[in-house]
Structure formats: C-alpha cells, structure tokens
Chain A
C-alpha cells in the first residue's frame, strides 16, 4: 500500500465520519420541523388571502379546495396556477385568482385578486413587482392604500371604457409622475373581471387538487 493510498484513505474516512454525523443531525432536525414548517407556510398563505377575503365569508379549507388552472392568456399567466375557491355551506361565495399584469414600468406585476360570486371585487394585492422604488411601488399595500381602490368595484359599477386611470379619462386615481404602473394594474384587473364573468361557472366545476402548497 503506497503512501498515497494510505493517506487518502485516512482522510476519506475522517471526512466521511463527519459527513455521517452532520447529515444525521440534519435529518433529525428536518423530521422535527417538517410539520411546523408546513403549518406556518399554510398560515402565511391564509393570512395573505385573509387580507382580501374575510375568513368569515367562507367555511371550507380554501387551500385544499384550490383548483388547478391552466395558463390563461386573459389572466396574463403563462404557467398553470391555482384558483382558490371559497365556499359557504357548500355554495360558492368567492374565488381567489392569480393574475399577471405584463406591462408594468419595469416588467411583470403579479397580483392576487379575490372576486365574490356576484362579480364584485373583494380585494386585490400585489404579490411581486419590480417597479421603481419610491415611484411605482405605491401599489404595494405596505407603501400605500392605493390598491384598495378596487375594493367593491365590478364590471357593473364602471362601464368598460372607464376602467382606466383618471389621466386617461377613467375612474381610477394615480400618483402624479407614475402612471404606467397603475395603468397596468387597472388594465389587468379589468381583464380578470371580464374573464371571470365568462368563466365563473366553469371554475367551480373544476376538480380540486387537494394541494397544500
């Protein structure tokens, strides 16, 4: 046995021993925290939905009853998404949809929109965006209450040609100097409403996935 082999074997064994101990410890921790992590992730999602859809309005497990939605051009989604369906006493009361406004100032704006079964918006939240800090980012609820302008609006409330920012002759407020971002959001929300009004029947007939994530 050459000196090389002897030395290499020794080092390999030592390193393997450390790897064994370390990985085992990780495995134990992972098992111990697995349930807690899943629970807190679900809690986080529910908390987000609760912002736009009061929990009192439904009684089902909204996460479990989510339906797989293929990519829908009208929603701006390019990947399958989840549609969270809220039921009360087994009857549909609202749906929470993911949508994307593609024409933000600096790229896509990801939205979460809750629509009641009567076509009225319960609430909208921006999930992610890349708008200019301090300029376009007032669409975030943490920065401004602007996003609440959609609460209670519906296709009935404003005719289609008034689903615009005030600068373009519509109904929606905006901040001077930053019109592109609200314009994109308003347009996206309007498109979602239009799509919803045509498809809400189908939405509730989709099979639930039972997904928890």
Chain B
C-alpha cells in the first residue's frame, strides 16, 4: 500500500459524513441520531457531519422498517451515494421491522432493500449506543480497507434471497 492510499484510508476513518434517511420509522431513532449531533454528545468531535445531500455522505443511516412506498426511494438514495459507502440500520425496525414486522405496508428491515453493513439494536438506541454503532461501522471500514474491498464479507454467506414479491402478512382473527 503506498503512502497516498494510506493517507486516504486514514482520512476515511477520520471523516465519516452521515446522511439520515427515515424509511418509515416512528421518529424515535431520528431524534436520537440528531440528538447525537447536539452538545451533550457532539459527534462532530469524531469528525462526523450530517449532510443533506446523499452525494456528499459516506454513511447512510436508515431508520425504520422501510414502508412499501419508501423502499424504492431508499434504493435510489443509496444509488446516489458515491463509493465507498456504508449503511447503518438503526433500531429494531431497521434490523427486522421491529414492532411493525409483518404489517401489510412494510418490507421488514433495511436489508431487504439495500445491503446493510452494521445494525444498532434498541428501540430507539440511546445516542451513545448510536455512537457505538458508528464506531462499529468504522471498524468494519478499516477491515475492509485492509482486505481491499467489501467482498471478503459477502463471500462467507450466500447471496441473500431476493425479497419475495408478496410476503406473508399477519393473519387477522
């Protein structure tokens, strides 16, 4: 690895800019992410800035179980981001759909739409848990840089099964 590459790698870890996308969450996670920006937690000390345009961001934080309507938008936002890009799914909803699992208008978790790199558990996670999540994502970034890409993680498991066109919905009594 030459010097300029090392420099860029160092900078990537030092300057992760985030953009927030609410894919149908209850706002709880969104508030807590924004709360992490404010004086009590102030994630700018890690170099994290919240960006409005997905074009400027490195990490996409997705909150919410992904409603049917937001799924296509989420995918588009993800595609607009420049490489290397990372995705954090926030809260129980982001991971599995949480309390909305199986409802007729949600697709149950971010992973059914776009690849997710890190999950943060909680409903909602506290801001310090969110910081832990971002740190976990940065750790992943470092490992990826050492492996020269994200592929090393994907190979371990077979490709995730494509989301079914129609999914089972909660049965009504």
Physical interaction between A and B: no
Q: Which residues of B are at the interface with A, using a C-beta cutoff of 8 A?
A: none
